Structure 1
Amino acid sequence: MPRRIPRNALDEVRTPRRFPGFLKTASVCVLIAGLLSPFSQAVAADATPKAAADDYCGGRCSDILPPGENGNATLAQILLNQGFGTQPGHAEDQLGPYANLATGYPALTDAKINSFFNDASFGVPADQVASTEKPAGRGDVTIVRDKKTGVPHITGTTRYGTEFGAGYAAAEDRLWLMDVFRHVGRGQLTSFAGGAAANQGLEQQFYRNAPYTEADLQAQIDNAVAHNGARGQQALADVNAYLAGINAYIDASDSGRYFPGEYVLTGHKDALTNAGKIEHFKVTDLVALASVVGSLFGSGGGGEVNNALSLLAAQAKYGVDEGTRVWESFRERNDPEAVLTLHDGQSFPYATKPDAPKGEALPDPGSVTQEPLVYDRTGSAASAAAKSASTTAAKSTLSSARRGMSNALVVSGAHTASGHPVAVFGPQTGYFAPQLLLLQEIQGPGISARGASFAGLSMYVELGRGQDYAWSATTSGQDIIDTYAVELCQDDHHYLYHGTCTAMDQVERANSWKPTVADGTAAGSYTMRVWRTEYGPVQYRATVGGKKVAYTTLRSSYLHEADSIIGFQMLNDPDFVKGPQDFQQAAQHINFTFNWFYADAQHTAYYNSGDNPVRASGVDAEFPVWAQPAYEWRDWDPATNTAAYTPPAEHPNSIDQDYYTSWNNKQAKDYTAAPWGEGSVHRGDLLDDRVSKLVAAGGVTRASLTRAMADAALTDLRAEDVLPHLLKVIDSAPVADPTAAAAVNTLDAWLSAGGRRTETSAGSKTYAHADAVRILDAWWPLLVKAEFEPGLGSDLYTALTGNLAVDESPSAGHGPTGAHAGSAFQYGWWSYVDKDIRAVLGEQVRGPLARKYCGGGDLSACRDTLIATLKQAARATAAQVYPGDDQCAAGDQWCADSIAQRPLGGIEHGRISWQNRPTYQQVVEFASHR
Structure 2
Amino acid sequence: MPRRTPRNVLSDRLRTPRTLSGFLKTASICVLIAGCLSPLGQAAAATSAPTAANDYCSGQCSDILPPGENGNATLAQILLNQAFGTQPAHAEDQLGPYANLATGHPGLTDAKINNFFNDASFGVPAGQVASTEKPAGRTDVTIVRDKKTGVPHITGTTRYGTEFGAGYAAGQDRLWLMDVFRHVGRGQLTGFAGGAPANQGLEQEFYRQAPYTEADLQAQIDGAVARNGERGQQALADVTAYLDGINAYIDASDSGRYFPGEYVLTGHKDSITNAGTIDHFKVTDLVALASVVGTLFGSGGGGEVNNALSLIAAQSKYGVEEGTRVWESFRERNDPEAALTLHDGQRFPYATRPDSPQGRALPDAGSVTQEPLVYDRTGSAGTASAKNSSTAVAKDTLSSARRGMSNALVVSGKHTASGHPVAVFGPQTGYFAPQLLMLQEIQGPGISARGASFAGLSMYVELGRGQDYSWSATTSGQDIIDTYAVELCQDDHHYLYRGTCTAMEQVERKNAWKPTVADGTAAGSYAMRVWRTKYGPVQYRATVGGKKVAYTTLRSSYLHEADSIIGFQMLNDPGYVKGPEDFQKAAQHINFTFNWFYADSAHTAYYNSGDNPVRAAGVDAEFPVWAQPAYEWRNWDPAANIADYTPASAHPNSIDQDYYISWNNKQAEAYTAAPWGEGSVHRGDLLDDRVSKLVAQGGVTRTKLVQAMADAALADLRAEDVLPKLLKVVNSAPVSDPTAAAAATKLQTWLSAGAKRTETSAGSKKYADADAIRILDAWWPLLVKAEFEPGLGSDLYGAFTANLPVDEAPSAGHGPTGSHAGSSFQYGWWSYVDKDIRAVLGEPVQGALSRKYCGDGSLSACRDALVGTLKQAAGLTAAQVYPGDDLCSAGDQWCADSIQQRTLGGIKHGNISWQNRPTYQQVVEYTSHR
Contact map agreement 2:779 2:873 (CA 8 A) in 1: yes
Where 2:541 maps in the other structure, the secondary structure is strand
Amino acid at match of 1:192: F
Count, aligned residues: 910
Letter aligned with residue 841 of structure 2: L
TM-score, scaled to structure 1: 0.97
Matches within 5 A, 1:131-280: 131-280=131-280
Distance 1:248 1:384 in 2: 37
Contact 1:600/1:925 (8 A) holds in 2: yes
Using the TM superposition, give the Cα deviation of residue 394 of structure 1 relative to its aligned residue in structure 2, in angstroms.
7.9
Tell me what 1:715 maps to: 715
Deviation at 1:863, TM superposition (A): 0.3
Offset of 1:35 from its aligned partner? 3.7
**Are 2:469 and 1:469 equivalent residues in the alignment?**
yes
Q: Equivalents in 2 of 1:393, 1:797: separation in Å?
A: 34
Q: Deviations over 1:228-272 (max 9, x none)?
A: 100000000000000000000000000000000000000000000
Letter in 2 for 1:247: N
Report the secondary structure of 2:402's partner residue. Answer: helix
Matched, 1:700 2:700: yes
Identity of aligned residues (%): 84
- Give, in whole Å, the separation in 1 of the partners of 2:378 and 2:349: 51
Q: Which amino acid aligns with 2:275?
A: A
Q: Distance in 2 between matches of 1:833 and 1:854?
A: 9
Aligned match of 1:725: 725
- The alpha carbon displacement at 1:199 in A equals 1.0
Using a 3 Å threshold, how does the CA distance of structure 1 residues 362 and 650 change in structure 2: closer, same or farther?
Answer: same
Contact 1:404-1:821 at 8 Å conserved across structures: no
In the alignment, is the contact (CA less than 8 A) between 1:71 and 1:435 conserved in 2?
Answer: yes
Q: Distance in 2 between matches of 1:594 and 1:220?
A: 21
Task: Tell me, in whole angstroms, the C-alpha distance in 1 between the residues paired with 2:16 and 2:276.
Answer: 19
The match for 1:104 is 104
Q: Can you list the C-alpha shifts for 1:48-67, whole angstroms capped at 9, x where unaligned?
A: 23211000000000000000
User: Is 1:34 aligned with 2:33?
Assistant: no
Preserved CA contact (<8 Å) 1:205 1:394 = no
Q: Per-residue deviation at 1:400?
A: 5.6
* Number of the residue aligned with 1:3: none
CA displacement, residues 723-777 of structure 1 (integer Å, 9 cap, x when unaligned): 0000001111111111111111100000000000000000000000000000000
Letter in 1 for 2:461: V
Following superposition of structure 1 onto structure 2, how do residues 481-880 of structure 1 map, counting pairs within 5 Å? 481-880=481-880
Q: Determine the C-alpha separation between the residues in 1 that align with 2:213 and 2:15.
A: 31
Tell whether the 8 Å contact from 2:197 to 2:384 is kept in structure 1 after alignment: no
Judge conservation of contact 1:404–1:822 (CA < 8 Å) in 2. Answer: no
**Structure 2 counterpart of 1:12:** none
Task: Measure how far apart 1:398 and its partner are.
Answer: 1.2
Corresponding position of 2:120: 120
What do the CA deviations read for 1:892-919 (whole angstroms, capped 9, x no partner)? 0000000000000000011000000000
Report the equivalent of 1:301: 301
User: Structure 2 counterpart of 1:464, which letter?
Assistant: G
Name the SS of the counterpart of 1:527 in structure 2.
strand
Measured in 2, the distance between the counterparts of 1:453 and 1:530 equals 31
**Aligned amino acid, residue 714 of structure 1:** L
Q: Aligned residue for 2:4?
A: none
Distance 1:618 1:37 in 2: 65
Paired amino acid for 1:800: F
Query: Given residue 30 of structure 1, which amino acid in structure 2 is its aligned partner?
Result: T
Question: 1:662 Cα deviation (Å)?
Answer: 0.1
Give the Å deviation of 1:224.
2.6
Deviations 1:778-820 (A, max 9, x none): 0000000000000000000000000000000000011100100
8 Å Cα contact 2:405-2:917 kept in structure 1: no
Show structure 1 runs of 5+ residues with no match. Answer: 1-18
The answer (yes or no) to whether the contact 1:22–1:196 under 8 Å persists in 2 is no
Equivalent position amino acid for 1:819 in 2: S
Match of 1:889 in 2: 889
Which residue of structure 1 aligns with residue 11 of structure 2? Answer: 20
Whether the 8 Å contact between 2:385 and 2:520 is mirrored in structure 1 is no
- 2:329 corresponds to which letter in structure 1? S
Stretch moving more, 27-36 or 879-888: 27-36
Cα distance per residue 1:448-491 (max 9 Å; x no partner) = 00000000000000000000000000000000000000000111
Deviation digits for residues 851-896 of structure 1 (CA, Å, limit 9, x no counterpart):
1000000000000000000000001000000000011000000000
**2:901 matched residue in structure 1:** 901
Bigger shift: 375-384 or 260-269? 375-384
Residue equivalent to 2:7: none
CA contact (8 A) 1:395 1:816 kept: no
Residue in structure 2 matched with residue 15 of structure 1 by the alignment: none
Q: State the partner residue of 1:5.
A: none
Is the contact between residue 341 and residue 668 of structure 1 (CA under 8 Å) also seen in structure 2?
Answer: yes
Equivalent residue number for residue 8 of structure 1: none
Measure, in 2, the Cα distance between the counterparts of 1:218 and 1:53: 36
Instruction: Tell me if structure 2 keeps the 8 A contact 1:374–1:528.
Output: yes
Q: Answer yes or no: is the 8 Å Cα contact 2:174–2:455 preserved in 1.
A: yes
Stretch of structure 1 that moved more, 306-315 or 730-739 = 730-739
**Cα deviation per residue 1:300-332 (whole Å; 9 max; x = unaligned)?**
000000000000000000000000000000000
2:196–2:385 contact (8 Å) kept in structure 1: no
Where does residue 371 of structure 1 map in the other structure?
A: 371
1:586-638 Cα distance to aligned partner (Å, 9 max, x none): 00000000000000000000000000000000000000000000000000000
In the alignment, residue 762 of structure 1 is paired with which amino acid? Answer: A
**Cα deviation, residue 21, structure 1:** 3.8
Q: Distance in 2 between matches of 1:549 and 1:384?
A: 37
Equivalent positions of 1:419-434 (< 5 A) are 419-434=419-434
Following superposition, the deviation at residue 384 of structure 1 comes to: 8.9
SS at match of 2:209: coil
For 2:502 and 2:31, how far apart are their aligned partners in 1?
60
* Deviation, structure 1 residue 25: 4.3
Unaligned runs of 5+ in 2: 1-9
Distance in structure 2 (CA, Å) of the matches to 1:375 and 1:405? 35
Residue deviations 1:813-833 (CA, integer Å, cap 9, x gap): 111001000000000000000
Shift in Å at residue 34 of structure 1?
Answer: 3.4
> Structure 2 CA distance, aligned partners of 1:570 and 1:380?
50
| Aligned mates of 1:209, 1:486 — CA distance in 2 | 18
| 3-state DSSP of counterpart to 2:779 | helix
Give the CA RMSD over aligned residues. 1.5
Contact kept in structure 1, 2:144 and 2:154, CA below 8 Å: yes
- The Cα shift of 1:442 comes to 0.1
- The 2-side partners of 1:772 and 1:240 are apart by 57
State the one-letter code of the partner of 2:32.
L
Which amino acid letter does the alignment assign opposite residue 406 of structure 1?
A: S
Distance 2:351 2:208 in 1: 26
1:360 aligns with 2:360: yes
1:288 alignment partner, SS class: helix
Q: Give distance in 2, aligned partners of 1:33 and 1:472.
A: 44
Indicate the residue corresponding to 1:926 in structure 2: 926
Distance 1:431 1:313, change over 3 A: same
Query: Aligned pair in 2 of structure 1 residues 262, 806: CA closer, same or farther (>3 Å)?
Result: same
- In structure 2, what is the equivalent of residue 323 of structure 1? 323
TM-score under structure 2 length normalisation: 0.97
Contact 1:421 1:600 in 2 (8 A): yes
Contact kept in structure 2, 1:556 and 1:613, CA below 8 Å: yes
Q: Closer, same or farther in 2 for the Cα pair 1:24/1:217, shift >3 Å? A: farther
Equivalent position SS for 1:399: coil
Note the C-alpha offset of 1:32.
2.4
Shift of 1:274: 0.3
| Contact map agreement 2:11 2:393 (CA 8 A) in 1 | no
- 1:440 matched to which residue of 2? 440
Q: Distance in 2 between matches of 1:624 and 1:131?
A: 57
Deviates more, 1:616-625 or 1:370-379: 370-379
- Distance (Å, rounded) in 1 between the aligned partners of 2:202 and 2:682: 30
The one-letter code matched in structure 2 to 1:542 is A
